[in-house]
Chain A
């Protein structure tokens, strides 16, 4: 079973609208990261939030972390057509075997 699972699986919005993507995970984590992947390309790191942080901002991105609910959300404000991509959350599970585990991703389509 997936450590991180994103919701929704697909999201289609109009340019200028905000996009909210959610990620839930199962076990305690050291940090949670969000990545973006354009079709047929590698991933690009967007933002990292540590387990002792609740909210972080980076440009038009805002990420929150609720460790009591084991969930995170990524908000993209004022979306642009160029934001169209797949978005993955990835977690580093607490423990010696600190591997980065990815969710299945969310496909975001921003209509011009």
Chain B
């Protein structure tokens, strides 16, 4: 099946620093990728939709200057948490729809990044 690779899997950083998370589709092209945030024992909350070659679409309440998204190629999207604070600590997950499916059918997920801001 299709593989989405997400790195790093875990990151610990000091408050005020920026953290970049990468999401790669390894064996298929992804013009669209989704970024989610998940709190312990909670649902996935869609943060933004990353579009190759154009600006990301952010969900209501998500600060675009805080969570910078870049989708420079058909296989790579990055999420940068700028000036991270302890409240940004969370599990971040990316996903991409399979090429042959509609945008919201059968998503392939990365393994997630646990961000801890001290």
A interface residues with partner B (beta carbon < 8 Å): 2, 31, 33, 35, 40-45, 48, 88, 92, 98-105, 107
Contact = CB atoms under 8 A, between A and B. Distances in A.
Given A44-B109, A98-B103, 15 more contacts: A2-B43, A31-B105, A33-B105, A40-B114, A41-B111, A42-B110, A42-B111, A43-B44, A43-B109, A98-B104, A99-B46, A102-B43, A103-B43, A104-B41, A107-B41
B76 interface: no
A48 B103 CA distance: 14
Given A42-B6, A42-B93, A42-B112, A100 B43 contact: no
12 contacts: A40-B112, A42-B95, A42-B109, A43-B44, A45-B106, A45-B107, A88-B43, A98-B102, A98-B103, A99-B104, A100-B104, A101-B46
A92 B44 contact: no
A35 B44 CA distance: 11
A5 to B, nearest CB: 10
Contacts of B102: 98
B108 interface: yes
Contacts of B110: 42
A42 B106 contact: no
Given A48-B105, A92-B104, A98-B103, A43 B42 contact: no
A45 B104 contact: no
A104 B42 contact: yes
